[in-house]
Amino acid sequence: MKMKKKAFLILRNNSLFIKMFLIMVISIVAVSLLITFSSIRMSSNLFMDTFSISNTKALEQIETQFEDYSYAIVGATHEVQNNGTVKRVLTQTNASTLETYRSYHDISQQIERIYRTVESYDANMIVLGNNERLYNVNYSNWPVSWEVLRNHPITEYTVNRPNTLLYQYLPSTSFTDEPMIVATKALMERSTGEIYGVLYFPIREAQLKQFYEGYTSAENEVLLVDATGKIVSSNKQELIGEEATDILAMAKEVDEEQLEFKDAHVFDTDYLLMSQYLPTYNMYLVNLVDKDAVLDNLINTKEILLISLGIVLLAVIVVFIISRRMTNSISRLVKQISTMAKHDFNMPVAETGGYEAKKIANAFNSMLSELQEYVDLVVLAQQKQRSAELMALQHQINPHFIYNTLASIKFMIQQGKKEKATDMIHALISLLQNALSNVEQTITVEQEITDLKNYVLINQSRYGDGIKVNFFISPDCLDCQLPKLILQPFIENAFFHAFNEKKEGFVQILVSQKGDNLLCEIVDTGDGMEMKGDHTKEDIKEKRHLFSGIGIRNVHERIQLLYGEQYGVEITSEIGKGTKVKVELPFQKTDIPANSNKITSI
Amino acid sequence: MKKFYLMLLLVVGMVVLAACSSGDEEASGGSGSEGSSDLDTITAWAWDPAFNIAALEKAKEAYDGDGEYEVNVIENAQDDIIQKLNTGLSSGTTNGMPNIVLIEDYRAQSFLQAYPDAFHPLTDVISSDDFADYKIATTSYDGEQYGLPFDSGVAALYVRTDYLEEAGYTVEDVTNITWQEYIEIGKDVKEATGKNMLTLDPNDLAQVRMMIQTNGSWYVDEDGSTPNLAGNETLEKAFETYKEMMDADIAKIVSDWSQFVGAFNSGDVASVPTGNWITPSVKQAADQSGNWAVVPMPRLDMDGAVNASNLGGSSWYVLNVDGKEQAADFLLNTFGSNPDLYQTLVKDIGALGTYSPAAEGDAYAVEDEFFGGQQLITDLSTWTDEIPGVNYGLHTYAIEDILVTGMQDYLNGAELTTVLENVQGQAEAQLK
């Protein structure tokens, strides 16, 4: 669960990076894939085009070879047909041994001479006569007897087409002989139309192959397909003798429509098929180029893919680093900004990372400091306002107090207590003097005590001396500074609220130095009250202010406004025992009033 | 900072590309000339997979020497071997030449004389006395032994015992006879059975060649190049004998191998005078088993003529190229000194060698039921030792082409001396 949450957190924190990185990676991969494949395609198409052109040229050359051979055969055929000796020997019947002997010699001489035209092609030459005569120039090439050859299908085929030079395929019949292509021509007596013999030019497929073998390779095959669709010769041994009518059909198409080449799928491979018709042979010369194999040689697909893979990897790494840097600074910014509230908006964000992030952080920081300035201004203004308010309150002497006091003095004078009335007027005068006329904020402890004593005197005169007030002032605190009328509200409180049940008691006022602080305590032995909360101002019920506008609630506020939060008022109370108020102030000597004097005197 | 990465990417990319493209530059080079200079492998050329190629393979198996090398046997048509040797040796290059080559005896001298330094002498390698004398004559030149004799071309007369019986003759009657006696028997056989005695090919004077060798004569002089036709009494006698056969009308005329083989396989002829290599062809007609016998070749009716001759046969030669020591070592430890190998050759291939010590082996003594229980191989190897040695010289086939026409003239009534003088003149003009 925690893991999951953590993972989610990481994911959320890095979402910008992940998004950016993914998009970049996908684009890089897509672009490089597209470029790779399109360049492979383009170059292979281009290569195939040029390849087909050069192969067409090669085919033409091969065709020339075939034509040369054909021409040699045609020449030899003509010679044999027009040779009287050959005709005589082949038509001779009932000859004596000596005549036969001579005939064999003569025909041998003639044929050997004619044979030289085709000898260079390693072709054999056989002359067959109907009179059981057979002359085989190269017996080992085709060891055939007269009976076999006379009844051979190719002889029959030839005899049925006496005017044509035919090229026929003779498959291998045993493991000792090889497939052959036999050019055959019937020997016909022109005047009578009688066929007296057959002429054969067998050439082994292996020899015929040499016409084109130089142009072939593993991926570049040449086939010779006869009119029935049989492959009669090929550089691929296993194809010889196969039926390939589909190739024949395509070869015809290429030849008839004058195509450069045609894409063909034969033998389970994709080929480029080029074709050339050999009219004298009535065969098609077919060139098959294995696309894949050729391209494998030309374009090292693996290499190209590896290169692009390498580039992609590199790009991804670089993108990773760069985007990581960019998003990292932004993420950090976001994180800092989101926790800004915890730091009261006054902690500037770190200006690190990329240019953009720095700018943003910078702008944010200046905005923040500006804001801070305004906030400070507002706070200051509010403090000033509050302080002015308090000041105003301080200067507000409750008029009832003055009426009541003056009324008490009037009674004293009526009763003839002249001295007492004079004291009271003195006390009132000095009290009012201090409260109203003295504009200084702070006064010495001595003055404050004097004011308090006057206040106590006035109150005791009015309400009797049931409540006794004692002052215990540490002498070194006398010239200490403290805000005006800061203790008066507590004494007033003690007088008017602490002694509702008990009618008599004491109020002790203690001023002493405690560490760096000035500690003033107002302890009464009155009724006490129920305490709740934090022993501060909230617990003291604000009643009407009998002397000035400042209530005890305001005292605490005022102290804090003036000196800071570590100072203030603390009240402890116990029902039946009394209340104890502690006022803590900084221990300040006269120099501050001097300053205040200066300001006020200006 | 961005620019820096871009540069980095470019540089790394270029390095990767450069590294990839630099891979394919080997492959070319090498592969040029190795051939015979490679001493780990020696090559041997022969032409017949069923015969001499097979014999080489058996020899490889039988090799018992210390040499550590491979023997690479390559099949080439005989004409190709001759052509390649001629072009290679005449241009003086040893590139692509084999270490061991098989050459027909009739042609051997033409190579030995034309390219004396091209062959590695085996005089000190093999013991000439172990081989049939006539073979040594054809395989040596200028006192040095160059060839290691391979198969015997010992000629014999294969006869149909049943036809002879019909005409009242026995095998003994045809053993060690002269050609004249042969013709007489032939006439009787034709009379009795209607069958011709033998086949003759107007374009192949093999009969004449076998005849003249019975008397130790040849188309050329001892020097191997001067035509010895006009005034050659042995040749005259052979021509006369040949004409007698024609006149006696005991010959069936054939023009090629199929007709030649067909004639005796179909029972058209009563005898076959030819080289021993015909044995497998004779045995093809299994129905004739027991009706055949093999007797020594008829001799010319002249003093000194013997009942032994030769037709064909070939020998191994070592070319004077790198690896010749290995090649000589291979031949010595196989065909040159291993009687067991010859037993194998006789049994498995039917090749009869000319190595005399081999004749004592078991395989030679086997009785052949086809020939009525005759110890054919033993007989043949006995006759082999009796063949008169002749120098076949340089021009056997060239002279024979001329002789074929001379024979025509002679058979058609020309005077023999005139014919031979004409032939001599033509041969001298052509072969000079």
Structural domains in chain B plus CATH codes: 41-151+312-360 (3.40.190.10), 154-308+390-431 (3.40.190.10)
- Residue B308: pLDDT band (50, 70, 90) is very high
Nearest CA in chain B to A100: B253
Contacts of A424 (CB under 8 A, 6+ apart): A405, A408, A409, A412, A457, A458, A461
Of how many residues is chain A composed? 602
Q: For chain B, first and last CA: distance in Å?
A: 93
Q: Quick one: pLDDT at residue A602?
A: 35
Q: Which of B8, B10, B252, B258 to mutate to test the interface with A (most CBs of A within 10 A)?
A: B258
Give the CB-side neighbour count of residue B74, counting CA atoms within 13 A: 17
Option in B24, B203, B246 nearest A97 (CB): B246
User: CATH top-level class for A83-208?
Assistant: alpha beta
- Torsion angle of C-alpha atoms B374, B376, B381, B382, degrees rounded to 10: 20
| Angle in degrees, 0-180, between the axes of helices B2-21 and A301-338, rounded to the nearest 10 | 160
Q: How far is the alpha carbon of B202 from chain A, nearest alpha carbon, in Å?
A: 6
Domain extents for chain A? 83-208, 339-388, 397-601
CB-based contact B139:B250 (threshold 8 Å): no
> Does the distance separating the beta carbons of A145 and B262 come in below 8 Å?
yes
Numbered residues of chain A with Cβ closer than 8 Å to any chain B Cβ: 97-98, 100-102, 104-105, 107-109, 133-136, 139-140, 143-146, 300, 303, 306-307, 310-311, 314-315, 318, 321-322
The torsion angles phi and psi of B289, rounded to 5 degrees, stand at -60, 135
Using a CB-CB distance cutoff of 8 angstroms, which residues of chain B are in contact with residue A143? 257-258
Q: Quick one: pLDDT at residue A548?
A: 61
Residue that is written with structure tokens 């290499």 in the block:
A303
Q: If one looks up domain A397-601 in CATH, what number appears? A: 3.30.565.10
Contacts of A213 (CB under 8 A, 6+ apart): A235
What value does the mean pLDDT take over residues B151-164? 91
Provide the β-strand partners of residue A588: A481
Q: For chain A, first and last CA: distance in Å?
A: 71
Report which of residues A400 and B205 the model is more confident about: B205
Q: A83-208 and A397-601 share one CATH topology?
A: no
Reported as a single tens digit per residue, the pLDDT across B87-121 is 888 887 777 889 999 999 988 888 888 888 889 99
CA–CA dist A49, B18 (Å, integer): 28
CB-based contact A322:B5 (threshold 8 Å): yes
Please say if the pLDDT value at position B407 is more than 80.
yes
What value does the mean pLDDT take over residues B156-179? 92
Q: How far is the alpha carbon of A256 from chain B, nearest alpha carbon, in Å?
A: 41
Chain A and chain B share a number of CB contacts under 8 A equal to 78
Neighbours of A443 (CB within 10 A): 21
Provide the β-strand partners of residue B159: B271, B293
Provide the β-strand partners of residue B101: B45, B317
CA–CA dist A519, A586 (Å, integer): 9
Please say if the pLDDT value at position B316 is more than 90.
yes
The torsion angles phi and psi of A249, rounded to 5 degrees, stand at -60, -45
Option in B8, B203, B251 nearest A105 (CB): B203
Using the Cα atoms of residue B260, residue B261, residue B266 and residue B271 in order, give the sign of their dihedral: positive
- Residue B239: pLDDT band (50, 70, 90) is very high
Q: Quick one: pLDDT at residue B26?
A: 37
DSSP H helices, A445-551, are 445-463, 488-493
Q: Quick one: pLDDT at residue A214?
A: 82
Q: CB contact, 8 Å: B259 with chain A?
A: yes
- The pLDDT mean for chain A works out to 81
Residue that is written with structure tokens 């497939």 in the block:
A179
Taking each continuous run of H as one helix and of E as one strand, the counts in chain A are 17, 17
- The mean-pLDDT minimum among A56-60, B99-103, B230-234, B288-292 falls in A56-60
Contacts of A522 (CB under 8 A, 6+ apart): A487, A490, A491, A494, A507, A508, A509, A580, A581, A583
Q: How far is the alpha carbon of A168 from chain B, nearest alpha carbon, in Å?
A: 23
Using a CB-CB distance cutoff of 8 angstroms, which residues of chain A are in contact with residue B200? 101
Using a CB-CB distance cutoff of 8 angstroms, which residues of chain B are in contact with residue A133? 255
3-state SS string for B222-281: CCCCCECCCCCHHHHHHHHHHHHHHHCCCEEECCCHHHHHHHHHCCCECEEEEEHHHHHH
Option in B251, B256, B404 nearest A134 (CB): B256
Closest CA to B9 of A157, A91, A32: A32
Residue A547: in which H helix or E strand, if any? none
CB-based contact B185:B167 (threshold 8 Å): yes
Using a CB-CB distance cutoff of 8 angstroms, which residues of chain B are in contact with residue A207? none
> Does the distance separating the beta carbons of A307 and B20 come in below 8 Å?
yes
**Strands A481-483, A442-444: pairing kind:** antiparallel
Q: Quick one: pLDDT at residue A535?
A: 47
CB-based contact B175:B295 (threshold 8 Å): yes
Option in B23, B202, B257 nearest A101 (CB): B202
Nearest CA in chain A to B10: A311
CB-based contact B284:A145 (threshold 8 Å): no
Q: How far is the alpha carbon of A23 from chain B, nearest alpha carbon, in Å?
A: 19
Using a CB-CB distance cutoff of 8 angstroms, which residues of chain A are in contact with residue B251? 97
Q: How far is the alpha carbon of A323 from chain B, nearest alpha carbon, in Å?
A: 11
Q: Quick one: pLDDT at residue B180?
A: 93
Q: Quick one: pLDDT at residue B38?
A: 46
Q: Quick one: pLDDT at residue B21?
A: 42
CA–CA dist A261, A289 (Å, integer): 10
Residue that is written with structure tokens 């010289």 in the block:
B393
E strands in B112-255: 140-141, 144-145, 147-149, 154-160, 198-200, 251-253
Using the Cα atoms of residue A495, residue A501, residue A504 and residue A507 in order, give the sign of their dihedral: negative
| CA angle (A206, A209, A212) in 5-degree steps | 160
Q: Quick one: pLDDT at residue A169?
A: 87
Q: Quick one: pLDDT at residue B189?
A: 93
3-state SS string for A368-408: HHHHHHHHHHHHHHHHHHHHHHHHHHHCCECHHHHHHHHHH
Q: CB contact, 8 Å: B20 with chain A?
A: yes
- The pLDDT mean for chain B works out to 85
Residue B36: in which H helix or E strand, if any? none
Burial class (CB within 10 angstroms; exposed 0-12, middle 13-18, buried 19+) of B229: buried
CB-based contact B323:B38 (threshold 8 Å): yes
B244-265 core/surface letters (b: 16 or more CB in 10 A; e: else) = bbbeeebbbbbbbbbbbbbbbb
Option in A104, A143, A314 nearest B255 (CB): A104
CA–CA dist B87, B114 (Å, integer): 12
> Does the distance separating the beta carbons of B9 and A104 come in below 8 Å?
no
Q: Which of A24, A97, A149 to mutate to test the interface with B (most CBs of B within 10 A)?
A: A97
CA–CA dist A428, A438 (Å, integer): 15
Give me A194's structure tokens.
């009688």
Q: Quick one: pLDDT at residue B20?
A: 43
CB-based contact B327:B120 (threshold 8 Å): yes
The torsion angles phi and psi of A523, rounded to 5 degrees, stand at -115, 130
B13 to A313, B166, B204: CA distances (angstroms): 11, 99, 78
> Does the distance separating the beta carbons of B9 and A315 come in below 8 Å?
yes
Residue that is written with structure tokens 């007596």 in the block:
A189
CB-based contact B147:B103 (threshold 8 Å): yes
Using a CB-CB distance cutoff of 8 angstroms, which residues of chain B are in contact with residue A109? 405
What value does the mean pLDDT take over residues B145-167? 91
Using a CB-CB distance cutoff of 8 angstroms, which residues of chain A are in contact with residue B249? 97
DSSP B395: -
Report which of residues A433 and B227 the model is more confident about: B227
Reported as a single tens digit per residue, the pLDDT across A502-534 is 878 888 999 998 888 889 998 988 888 776 654
Option in A100, A133, A139 nearest B257 (CB): A139
Q: Quick one: pLDDT at residue A493?
A: 81
| CA angle (A275, A280, A282) in 5-degree steps | 55
Mean pLDDT per block of 10 residues along chain A (602 residues) reads 78 79 88 87 81 81 88 89 85 82 86 85 86 80 81 87 86 73 87 86 85 81 86 84 85 83 80 84 85 72 83 88 80 79 74 78 86 89 81 71 82 85 86 70 83 85 83 87 82 81 86 88 84 51 55 77 82 84 84 42 35
> Does the distance separating the beta carbons of B200 and A102 come in below 8 Å?
no
Nearest CA in chain B to A353: B1
> Does the distance separating the beta carbons of A104 and B203 come in below 8 Å?
yes
Burial class (CB within 10 angstroms; exposed 0-12, middle 13-18, buried 19+) of B223: exposed
Q: Quick one: pLDDT at residue B101?
A: 94
A39-70 core/surface letters (b: 16 or more CB in 10 A; e: else) = eeeeebeebbeebbeebbebbeebbebbbebb
Option in A97, A136, A315 nearest B249 (CB): A97
